[in-house]
Structure 1
Amino acid sequence: MTRGIGWYVHHQGAGHLQRARAVAAQLSCPCTIMGTLAGLGEAGPNVLDLPDDRPLDEGAAFAGFDGEAERPDAMHYAPLRHPGLRRRMAQIAEWVDRTDPALLVVDVSVEVALFARLLSVPTVVVRLAGERTDRPHLEAFRSASRLLAPFPAALEAPGVPDWVRAKTFYAGFLGLAPNGGSTEGRNIVVVFGRGGEGGDLAAIAAAARQVPDRQWHVLGPVSGQSDLPPNLRIHGWVSDVGAHLAEAALLVGGAGDGLVALAAAHGKRFVCLPELRAYGEQTEKAKALGRLGAAIVRPTWPAEHEWPALVAEGLALNATIIAGLYEPVALGRCAAFLDGLATQ
């Protein structure tokens, strides 16, 4: 029997799970997706739903760090007396002992990467964008057999050490290809992801009023109260962001992996408003897009009066630049890379 691959997914945002699903569908080796997956539609023999390890204090924000006064320098999150974390690691160890995996992909957790090394399992650690040169990240990178960057090499940050670059497989954007292609529409599509704070309805409505000749469609979480102008529609969560994006003239949103991949896959002009994330993940990626001329970048949601000029600037972008970052065979190439490591 072919030894399988495990794929650990972090629970912040939806991108980690979407990436795992997309690549797993292309793998030749059997793949088990593991993580805190309850309520995300994941079930079956190839899923390991792990206990939640987030802070026990109800309502506490999860920032990826624990509050321990004394924590090993090689770790970010190792809270003491946390039963969920204890059971989580025990289940991972039991799964490893029972299945003898060829490889574990870790997307992302320094602690799971180091734990897998102690379990004598080769790992591929997913290396996200941002300033990840702190000791815990570097120790996780050092422990891994290889690193996997879910973005093209053109978006690499300038301060990444040479040995980290040399160990990295640049997979490109690992999103599903557009169904039916894209058209040049007139809509402005605004997207807010699962991992952030969402949009402010009053600010969105004010922006739409400033550009009344365009229909605005907003996807994802939005909060607050406001009267809506006739050219603004709030959709909330949708199952297929790509279907809405396909007919857009301009995309507005953060710099999450999934959304940037969609922008590139559809070749859409992009106003990028990076959301605050640990290690400047979205900020650094947005800077790279700006350097390439692949997007118009602003650090925060623009003021009401800025929108007419900003939309005009976005519509003047050369869409072939961002489209050139998309590699249609990225998923298959990534799967072949992992299959090759698993069968060595």
Structure 2
Amino acid sequence: MVIGWYIHHHGYGHVARFLAVQPHLRCPVVAFSSMARPDELDPAVDWVRLPTDADVVEGPDGESHDPRDADPTARGHLHWAPHDHPGHRARLARIAAVASERDLRAFVVDVSAEVVAFARLLGLRTVAVTQPGTRTDAPHALAYALADRIVAPWAHGAVPRAGLSAHGDRAVWTGGVSRYEGRARTERSAKRSVLFLGRVLEPEVRAHATAEFSARGWVVRAVGHDDASRVDDPWPLITGSTVVVSAAGQNSVADLAAAGARAVVIAQDRPFDEQHHTAEALERWGLARRAEQGVGAADLVALVERAAEDAPDWSRWQVAGAARRLAEAVEAVLP
């Protein structure tokens, strides 16, 4: 039996989750995404590159047509299904064709309400990966109602989700899924150090905070805030730093949990307030300090210095075994 897996193309989090779970799957899997195939993916996994469906296209009249102006939400019933977009039509046709050619039996969707509905209409056993936030709108309600299983990749009870309350018999909380689960940690240096991870600070704030930390004897590192600062493997920096300043996305938080990091999280604005809900949960459970998105340099330095004395119990985020549990939840829907 073959499983299909749809990977949303925004950011790296969805593909990172797939890369963490795929080795635990006992069945063959075909991945679908608009993203390029990851270099580190197992060569045995088929990767189907889907056309994009959000670009401006030229119509038969020679005029440019923006899909945002083509009733993409179907009057609020969907998130994205624009009229007359060839890429949107082609990507769904490609999914249907491969589902038939490969005789897919189950389909994991991370994430898209429309693809959940489409997969279920194809008669596939459908697993919807969900995220934190206020997801009680009509498209999410439809996806949850149709899915054979709903997977929440965070610790049960951490982030309240009213939208899942009616589907408790089909919802599975796996704990946070990290690509670093089980990897040895780098020993922290005796000298205090802070890591700015990703695009969490405005350049001016980062520069002022760096100067203030340096004046206080801290070593400051910053990675991932632009193309030049990207690193292939941030794990040694995450585990070796006294405090990590990070966004509050699901993969970032799972990586912090795997590292046992002392952290300050800055929730980024995302649809449905996903990161704000997660940051509040981390603060409530005593796992990380929370800063507002517009935090100033002085306030950030004070938060980091307090976080350096914390002893968070990251085992509560249940990263250990989470990727395996997600794989088991997926394979449990198979006939």
| TM-score of the two chains, using structure 2 as the length reference | 0.89
Report the AA paired with residue 130 of structure 1. G
C-alpha separation in 2, matches of 1:218 and 1:178:
25
What is residue 279 of structure 1 aligned with on the other side? 272
Instruction: Confirm or deny: 8 A CA contact 1:178 1:242 kept in the other structure.
Output: no
* Corresponding position of 2:225: 221
| TM-superposed deviation, 1:168 | 1.1
How far off is 1:248 after superposition?
Answer: 0.9
- 1:102 is paired with a residue of what secondary structure? strand
**In structure 2, which of residues 325, 328, 335 is the aligned counterpart of residue 336 of structure 1?**
328
**Aligned partner of residue 313 in structure 1, secondary structure:** helix
**1:268/1:323 contact within 8 Å kept:** no
Q: Secondary structure at the match of 1:104?
A: strand
Q: Which residue number corresponds to residue 210 of structure 2?
A: 208
Residue of structure 2 aligned with 1:187, choices 193, 211, 216:
193
Q: Residue type of the partner of 1:24? A: Q
How far does residue 179 in structure 1 lie from its aligned partner after superposition?
Answer: 2.5
Structure 1 vs Structure 2 CA RMSD: 2.2
So what's the TM-score if we normalise by structure 1? 0.86
Which amino acid in 1 is paired with 2:250?
Answer: D
Note if contact 1:295-1:322 (Cα within 8 Å) is conserved in structure 2.
Answer: no
Amino acid at match of 1:219: V
The partner residue of 1:14 within 4, 12, 15 is 12
Corresponding residue for residue 102 of structure 2: 99
Runs of 4+ in structure 1 deviating by more than 4 angstroms, as ranges, are 42-45
2:162 & 2:124 partners in 1: Cα distance? Answer: 29
Answer whether contact 1:220 1:236 (CA < 8 A) is retained: yes
What is the aligned partner in structure 1 of residue 177 from structure 2?
Answer: 174
Alignment partner, residue 23 of structure 2 = 25
Question: How far off its partner does 1:207 sit?
Answer: 0.5
Q: Are the equivalent residues in 2 in contact too, given 1:272–1:286 (CA < 8 A)?
A: yes
Residue 303 of structure 1 and its aligned partner are, at CA, apart by: 1.0
How far 1:341 moved relative to its partner?
1.9
State whether residues 200 and 222 of structure 1, in contact with CA within 8 Å, keep that contact through their aligned partners in structure 2.
no
SS of the residue 1:324 aligns to? helix
Classify 1:257/1:104 alpha carbon distance in 2 versus 1 (closer, same or farther; 3 Å): same
Correspondence 1:1-344 to 2 at 5 A? 3-38=1-36, 40-41=38-39, 46-56=46-56, 66-69=68-71, 71-157=74-160, 159-176=162-179, 177-185=181-189, 186-192=192-198, 199-212=201-214, 213-222=217-226, 236-319=229-312, 321-342=313-334, 344=335
Query: What is the CA distance between 1:44 and its match in structure 2?
Result: 6.8
> C-alpha separation between the residues in 2 aligned to 1:154 and 1:53?
35
31-40 or 128-137, which moves further after superposition? 31-40
Q: 1:222-280: CA deviations, max 9, x gaps?
A: 49xxxxxxxxxxx6111112121110110101111111011111111110101010010
Residues 158, 101 of structure 1: alpha-carbon distance in 2 compared, 3 angstrom cutoff: closer
Aligned partner of 1:30: which letter? P
- Number of equivalences: 319
More off after superposition, 161-170 vs 210-219: 161-170
Q: Deviations over 1:40-87 (max 9, x none)?
A: 4467761111111123179xxxxxx94444715431111112111111
C-alpha separation between the residues in 2 aligned to 1:57 and 1:300? 35
Deviations 1:265-312 (A, max 9, x none): 111111010101001011111111111111111221421222332122
Give the Å deviation of 1:339. 2.0
Rounded to whole Å, the distance in 2 between the matches of 1:173 and 1:74 is: 30
1:324 and 1:184 map into 2 onto residues whose CA distance is 22
How far apart in 1 are the matches of 2:209 and 2:187?
24
Residues 94-147 of structure 1 show CA distances to partners (whole Å, capped at 9, x for unaligned) of 011111211100000111111111111110000111110101101011010010
Say if 1:124 and 1:39 are closer, same or farther in 2 by CA, change over 3 A.
closer
- Give unmatched runs, 5+ long, in structure 2: 59-66
Q: Relative to structure 2, which stretch is displaced further, 121-130 or 180-189? A: 180-189
Question: How many Å separate the matches in 1 of 2:182 and 2:195?
Answer: 16
Q: CA deviation at 1:192?
A: 1.2
Contact 1:5 1:30 in 2 (8 A): yes
CA contact (8 A) 2:245 2:266 kept: yes
Change over 3 Å in CA distance of 1:126–1:158 after alignment to 2: closer
Q: Which amino acid aligns with 2:173?
A: Y
